Amino acid sequence: MATKRLLQFSLSLLTRQAHARSQVGLWIDAGSRFENDSNNGVAHFLEHMIFKGTSKRSQTSLELEVENMGAHLNAYTSREQTVYYAKCFSKDLPQALDILSDIIQNSTLGEQEIERERGVILREMQEVETNLQEVIFDHLHSIAYQGTPLGRTILGPTENIKTINRNDLKEYISTHYKGPRIVLAAAGGVNHDNLVKLSEQYFGNITAGYDSEIPISAPCRFTGCDIRVRDDDMPLAHVALAVEGCGWSNADNIALMVANTLIGSWDRSHGGGANLAGRLASNSARGNLCHSFQAFNTCYTDTGMWGIYFVSEKLSIDDMIFNIQNEWMRLCNNVTDFEIQRAKNLLKTNLLLQLDGSTPICEDIGRQMLCYGRRIPLPELDARIDAVDAETIKSVCTKYLYDQCPAVAAVGPIEQLPDYNLDKKVKLTMIAFLGDFTLTPVSSSSYFDSVKPLRNDSLI
């Protein structure tokens, strides 16, 4: 069971006691979504700079101190969050907290280190560009959320990386690293009361107020359209399709998680064939439709993307998309209680397996505190999943999938990818026949209608 405390300086503290080793981290409500066109990439740049020395510790002494503890210090940046965390022995927890508080409050951000780190980030960008899955999802965000903060990449454009300076970094810290936007999470061999005292000692100087207007993330609209990067020299096509999903705290999110689990994933290299439980996996194996696919449900504060990413031969793209549409329409119209029960069991199993160890537990605590304002107990989450039935899935999926405008991103030999503008002239309708259904194309002004307004029903 996790224990929560709101400290006097508005920083939230949550702990879960379990083992002799511990993980402690800072989850900050700040990521690339809180940037603009001119400073896009500053949150990620700051993540790199935060370990380059403080007013109390040089970079060398910081690295030696962490190594002598046998600890691990790391960080990552996403579109809505920045995380700094340390893994250490429980006896070294005070020292780990001292280091974490020092790096976010007293980093020197030296000019020489900034110039050196530009090259590191540019090389990282080159590595990212070789990972086609990351490239596809960056493209998908860029078109689905075009003209909004979520459409920007986390690393930022090359020109920004070359021009971000010390003032940009300090301004980002002073604007976003405030008590109410920070969660201190810990798991493992942690005593909650002791951690409260240590937190007040090391983080008591973090301010809670703002000198000027409080920064608020702008609403991000979802736009259905496509982006295609055709390269016939590539051996395989990489394609992602997504419709607008919902935010973390939306009441529909649990049903979409179950639907996402029902679609599932499959990889030819992992074995399994026509006898797989999932229909899309079985059809993919039997018909040689793709090399792999992965359903996804990406959530943000007020919006999300629900869809599928697949890798296939160029001549199989059209057949794969047809089968995906088939499965999506089944969710809206013809899914059975037996399938839903199987998906719910698998979802609960996956959620439990993801909490194996202090590291994923700490991650879960920090993320849920930022997203929900509390950590949802497992019995409550289990009950929410159990409440989903076939009718719930049909209703929710009809709302989010049927007659909605998808975003499509594709890279590789994609000549066979159906033309988006041609598809806009066709409307897919669902007709149920004796427990099965067919997809019948009929003339329509537009299959891709306007995106409906967001719902903000609380999951809490």
Catalytic residue among 35, 47, 80, 339: 47
Amino acid identity for residue 372 in this structure: Y
- Residue 451: CB atoms within 10 A of its CB come to 16
Q: Do 144 and 222 touch, CB atoms closer than 8 A?
A: yes
Spatial CA neighbour of 137 closest among 95, 98, 79, 80? 79
The question of whether 47 is a catalytic residue gets the answer yes
Spatial CA neighbour of 197 closest among 99, 103, 93, 83? 93
CA torsion 384-347-294-279 (nearest 10°) is -100
What's the residue count for the chain? 460
φ, ψ dihedrals at 90, nearest 5°: -60, -35
Taking the C-alpha atoms of residue 174 and residue 356, their distance in angstroms, rounded to an integer, is: 36
Sequence-ordered list of residues with C-beta below 8 angstroms from that of 381, at least 6 positions apart, any chain: 351
* 3-state secondary structure labels for all residues of the chain: CCEEEECCCCCEEEEEECCCEEEEEEEECCCHHHCCCCCCCHHHHHHHHCCCEECCCEHHHHHHHHHHHCCEEEEEECCCCEEEEEEEEHHHHHHHHHHHHHHHHCECCCHHHHHHHHHHHHHHHHHHHCCHHHHHHHHHHHHHCCCCHHHCCCCCCHHHHCCCCHHHHHHHHHHHCCHHHEEEEEEECCCHHHHHHHHHHHHCCCCCCCCCCCCCCCCCCCCCCEEEEECCCCCCEEEEEEEECCCCCCCCHHHHHHHHHHHCEEEHHHCCCCCCCCHHHHHHHHHCCCCEEEEEEEECCCCEEEEEEEEECHHHHHHHHHHHHHHHHHHHHCCCHHHHHHHHHHHHHHHHHCCCCHHHHHHHHHHHHHHHCCCCCHHHHHHHHHCCCHHHHHHHHHHHCCCCCCEEEEEECCCCCCCHHHHCCEEEEEEEECCEEEEEEEECCCCCCCCCCCCCCCCC
The first and second tokens of residue 435, run together, are: 């427990």
Active site residues: 47
